[in-house]
Amino acid sequence: MPDVKVNAGLRQALQIPWWFAGLALFCYLLMLVYPSIAGTYYAFTDWSGVGGFKYVGFANFKLVFTDGEALSSLKNTVFLAFTTTIIQNIVGLSLALALNGNSRLKALLRPVFVAPVLLAPVVVGVIWQYIYSPEGALNSLLAVLDLRDWQQPWLGLPDTALWMVAFTVVWQFAGLTMIIYLAGLQGIGPELYEAAAMDGSGRLRQFWDITVPLLAPAVTVNVLLPFIGGLKLFDQVMMMTAGGPGYSTQTAALMIYRQAFTHGAFAYSTALAVVLTIGVALAAMVQLAVLRRREHTR
């Protein structure tokens, strides 16, 4: 039994000095905290990146909510976040349910769906840009299947282009969703299913009563991550359509980049970024509140 004096000394020694966090704090404050605060400040000015600037109050924010281009960017961003999250979860959960197990075949198939997760989003964008192009694989496939009427300029029509971007993102990340659901599924003890089977529950009943509630933590992650990722979408869109045709696939992140670096409207760009940040924070808070509650009440 260690005596009290030694205990106190140990406790004192385990008061790790602050300098352990020095490097991390330094980089974090310099690279994220300071620029974010400065960015929020610049959003209230008319700075164009060079020269001086003056305070203009909420003028930039008013512009964000009246400018057609900005509004459509926000609309596209929200649309992409919702559609990718929903479809990705459907596909990911289906894959997890179908590929849960140790058969040779399943072990062989799983990596096929995980591989795209590791590719650079830009690379995935290039691949699907080819597939959707007028002379690309999709139209060729339709020709082979004798469905020439269905051939489209997939990325060239405002209505279809955004959906195609959504499908591309889902294609890339459904494998990640699958992995997380698989981890969740494997944490469910088989005795629960056995007990339910003995009570006479069918497969579907077991699914709803056992699987779904116990997957709640996985659901939390699988709803939060794709949604936030969807709100920040940049790489794939920049590669596939650069926001076109017109501005019909421009996302908030894309517009922020364009306004700052191609048009030099630095202040306007940061105002848009502030709006995006608030949106992301709200989405995260709402989702965490709802999903965490579900985790605990089941």
Partner 1 sequence: MFALSNPITGRHLLGGLACLTLASAPAVLSAQELTMSYLASYKTATDQAIAGFEAANPGIKIRASYTADGQSIRAQFTTGNAPDITLIYPGDGAPMSLIQLAKAGMLEDLSSEPWAKTIPQSFRRAVTFNGKAYVPPTTYSFITMLSNDEVMKKVGASVPVNFNELLAFCDKAKASTIPIAFGLKEQVPTLFPGYAMIASTAFVDNPSFAEDHAAGRTSFAKGYKQSMEMYLQMRDRGCFSRTAAGNSNDDALKQIANGQAALYVGVVAFLPAVIKYNPDVKITQSPFPGNVDESKVRLPIGPTITYGVSAQSKHKEAAKKFVAYIAQPDNLRKWAATVNQLVASDIESAPAPAGNATAVANLLRAKRTVEYLDRNWPNSKIQPIYMAGIQELLSNQTSVDALLKRMDDVYSQP
Partner 2 sequence: MSRRVTLSASLWRVLLVGLTLVYAIPLYLVVTLSLKSDGQTARAPFAPPWQPYWANYLEAWNASAASGNASLAPALFNSALIAILSVLVLVVSGAMAGYVLARRKGRAVEWVFLLFLVGITVPQQLGIVPLFQMMRSFGLVGNPLGLVLMNTGLLAPLTIFLYTTFIRSLPTDFEEAALMDGASRLRVFWDVVMPLVRPVTATVIVIHGMHVWNDFFTPLIFLLGSGKQTLPVAIFSLVGEYSTSWGPIFAGVVIASIPVMTVFVFLQRHIVRGFSGGIR
- C-alpha dist (Å) from residue 133 to 105, 137, 138, 149, 156: 33, 8, 8, 16, 9
Count the Cβ atoms, other than its own, within 10 Å of residue 162. Answer: 22
Tell whether residue 112 is a contact of partner 2 (CB under 8 A): yes
Tell whether residue 196 is a contact of partner 2 (CB under 8 A): no
Tell whether residue 152 is a contact of partner 1 (CB under 8 A): yes
Tell whether residue 231 is a contact of partner 2 (CB under 8 A): yes
Sole binder of partner 2 in the list 44, 132, 154, 171 (CB under 8 A) = 171
Phi, psi dihedral angles at 55 (to 5 degrees): -70, 130
DSSP state of 99: T
Q: How far is the CB of 274 from partner 2 (least distance, A)?
A: 7
Picked from partner 1, partner 2, none, the partner binding residue 130 (CB below 5 to 8 A depending on kind) is: partner 2
Tell whether residue 202 is a contact of partner 1 (CB under 8 A): no
Q: What sections of the chain are H helices per DSSP?
A: 4-13, 22-28, 34-42, 59-66, 68-98, 104-118, 121-132, 137-144, 158-186, 190-198, 203-206, 212-214, 216-231, 235-240, 252-261, 266-297
Tell whether residue 187 is a contact of partner 1 (CB under 8 A): no
Q: How far is the CB of 63 from partner 2 (least distance, A)?
A: 16
CB-wise, 152 or 211, nearer to partner 1?
152
**Window of 94-102, 115-123, 203-211, 242-250 that interacts with partner 1 by CB under 8 A:** 242-250
- C-alpha dist (Å) from residue 107 to 76, 98, 229: 37, 11, 28
* CB-based contact 77:231 (threshold 8 Å): yes
* CB-based contact 63:70 (threshold 8 Å): yes
Q: What 3-state class would DSSP assign to 45?
A: strand
DSSP state of 55: B
Phi, psi dihedral angles at 102 (to 5 degrees): -115, 10
* CB-based contact 39:274 (threshold 8 Å): yes
Tell whether residue 1 is a contact of partner 2 (CB under 8 A): no
Sole binder of partner 2 in the list 4, 13, 198, 289 (CB under 8 A) = 13
Tell me the per-residue interface mask from 126 to 165 with partner 2, x by CB under 8 A, - otherwise.
Answer: xxxxxx-x-xxx--xx--x---------------------
Tell me the per-residue interface mask from 264 to 283 with partner 1, x by CB under 8 A, - otherwise.
Answer: x-------------------
Tell whether residue 50 is a contact of partner 1 (CB under 8 A): yes
Phi, psi dihedral angles at 214 (to 5 degrees): -75, -10
**Window of 65-73, 78-86, 101-109, 145-153 that interacts with partner 2 by CB under 8 A:** 101-109
CB-wise, 162 or 237, nearer to partner 2?
237
Sole binder of partner 1 in the list 40, 94, 151, 201 (CB under 8 A) = 151
Residues making contact with partner 1 (CB under 8 A): 48-50, 68, 133-135, 151-158, 242, 244-248, 257-258, 260-264
